[in-house]
């Protein structure tokens, strides 16, 4: 966070100080919302949520080192009191973002791949200068402000993952944080139930490029027709990435090694160079190309991009992370999120990696898919079986059963269990040395706990 006095923050958010012994005391740390993870010198933002009221933990946060609390009522601690905490957070974020005159702000959105792309981009742009990126998947109306307010002075690149669950969400975020570069990865079926279909999803995702000025840069996926069509909505020049010959930044000669990692020749307007990704799955080629397009437009050489991409790793947990057990079983943890596109990508990676091993796909339910949910789940089961996955385990209710039915129809051995506990018991007796196991589900399915069970077995 840019150093600010408590009096200065109060002025920006139009609040009043309460029990503040020194209004000129400076907030030097980031804003935070979890009193269990305090930031010394930071600003504790007290939200009154559905189940937890942050105001009840204000004293605890200050005792742990926070400089003050942003609150909607008086608390037993130094505070800046405002009528609406979220609105005040927005105002402070907007003010702060506009003071970052030396920082290039990059927004990344898409139906899938946002977090992985953001992680890769942070590592690549780090070769050009001090870079800050969204932690984990904090990509909403609270996470984006916290990321901005956690950005230290001297940051050259700020990479913001930006999510949306409806029309207007990205317009709101980009109004808070004006972007220099906008990246749209894809338009898929994730949250289709909330958006109302892929066309509505495209309308919402395109708000990211609409927010750019003519001096910005739009980076769009040429392989996705709904994304490439967003070029007409951008006042900024467009750089296309993809695997087709017409893309400005493209991959040629794509292949996978025995560990499911992609190798390809990166082509940019500045030349070409080989890339050997360390992340798992062919779907990361598109993510890497988006990163390459941004880095190229920001002045990195093609050779430098290829070298840093080849050294980049997954930094957010439960995203195609590999765990090798002592007994020879390998567990791929991809249990953070799931939609039809990411599920298909993970299954293809499993099949590519398992050509000489027995493959087991443990699949939890996908959510927020709308009226096509049952068909989407069945298609995933059919894909698993069609790819030659040996065993498919559906975990959860009726839709997990639909996955199993689709996989069985295509020849896979199948099991359907009710929950994580039953899955752990089944797999404890099923897995043998050499097996390759993918665990893939929506976060709400709770299968991250199953990964821990399997890794620690």
Residues at the binding site for ATP are: 110-116
Q: Provide the β-strand partners of residue 334.
A: 440
Residue 419, class by beta-carbon neighbours within 10 Å (0-12 exposed, 13-18 middle, 19+ buried)? middle
Q: What are phi and psi of 272, to 5 degrees?
A: -145, 155
Query: From the annotation, which residues make up the binding site?
Result: 110-116
**Secondary element (H or E) of residue 391:** strand 391-395
8 A C-beta contact, residue 236 and residue 242: no
The residue behind tokens 């390809």 is 264
Burial pattern 219-232, b for ≥16 Cβ within 10 A else e, equals bbbbbbebbbebbe
Half-sphere exposure of 450 (CA within 13 A, CB side): 37
CA-based R_g, the chain, Å: 23
Nearest Cα neighbor of 67 from 28, 96, 11, 37 is 28
8 A C-beta contact, residue 57 and residue 33: no
Q: What are phi and psi of 225, to 5 degrees?
A: -60, -35
How many angstroms separate the CA atoms of 400 and 70, rounded? 43
Q: What are phi and psi of 41, to 5 degrees?
A: 80, 5
List C-alpha distances in Å: 422 to 143, 323, 329, 394, 447: 34, 21, 19, 11, 12
Which distant-in-sequence residues (6+ apart) come within 8 Å of 248 by Cβ? 239, 240, 241, 268, 269, 293
Q: Calculate the CA 192 to chain-centre distance.
A: 17
How many angstroms separate the CA atoms of 323 and 318, rounded? 11
Q: Six-digit token pair at 429?
A: 């007796």
């Amino acid at each position: 966070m840019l150093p600010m006095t408590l009096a200065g923050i109060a002025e920006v958010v139009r609040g009043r100080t309460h029990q503040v012994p020194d209004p000129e005391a400076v907030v030097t740390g980031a804003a935070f919302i979890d009193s269990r993870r305090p930031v010394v010198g930071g600003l504790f933002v007290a939200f009154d949520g559905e189940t937890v009221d942050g105001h009840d933990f204000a004293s605890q946060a200050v005792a742990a080192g926070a400089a003050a609390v942003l609150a909607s009522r008086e608390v037993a601690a130094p505070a800046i009191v405002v009528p609406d905490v979220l609105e005040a957070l927005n105002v402070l974020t907007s003010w702060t973002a506009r003071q970052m005159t030396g920082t290039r702000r990059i927004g990344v959105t898409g139906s899938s791949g946002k977090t992985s792309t953001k992680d890769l981009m942070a590592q690549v742009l780090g070769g050009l200068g001090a870079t800050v990126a969204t932690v984990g998947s904090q990509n909403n109306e609270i996470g984006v402000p916290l990321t901005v307010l956690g950005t230290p002075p001297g940051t050259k690149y700020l990479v913001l993952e930006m999510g949306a669950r409806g029309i207007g969400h990205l317009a709101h975020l980009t109004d808070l944080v004006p972007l220099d570069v906008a990246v749209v990865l894809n338009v898929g079926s994730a949250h289709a139930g909330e958006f109302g279909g892929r066309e509505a999803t495209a309308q919402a995702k395109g708000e990211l490029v609409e927010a750019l000025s003519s001096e910005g840069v739009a980076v769009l996926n040429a392989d996705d027709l709904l994304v490439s069509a967003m070029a007409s909505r951008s006042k900024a020049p467009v750089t296309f990435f993809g695997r087709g010959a017409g893309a400005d930044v493209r991959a040629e000669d794509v292949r996978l090694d025995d560990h499911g990692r992609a190798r390809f020749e990166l082509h940019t307007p500045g030349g070409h160079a080989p890339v050997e990704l360390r992340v798992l799955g062919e779907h990361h080629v598109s993510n890497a190309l988006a990163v390459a397009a941004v880095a190229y437009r920001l002045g990195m050489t093609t050779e430098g991009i290829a070298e840093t991409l080849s050294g980049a790793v997954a930094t957010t947990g439960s995203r195609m992370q590999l765990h090798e057990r002592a007994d020879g079983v390998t567990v791929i943890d991809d249990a953070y999120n799931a939609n039809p596109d990411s599920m298909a990508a993970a299954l293809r990676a499993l099949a590519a990696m398992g050509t000489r091993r027995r493959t087991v796909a443990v699949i939890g339910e996908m959510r927020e898919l709308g009226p096509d949910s049952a068909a989407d789940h069945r298609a995933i089961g059919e894909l698993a079986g069609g790819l030659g996955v040996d065993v498919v385990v559906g975990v959860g209710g009726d839709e997990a059963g639909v996955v199993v039915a689709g996989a069985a129809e295509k020849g896979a051995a199948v099991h359907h269990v009710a929950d994580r506990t039953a899955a752990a018991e089944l797999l404890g007796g099923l897995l043998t040395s050499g097996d390759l196991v993918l665990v893939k589900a929506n976060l709400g399915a709770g299968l991250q706990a199953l990964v821990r069970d399997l890794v620690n077995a």
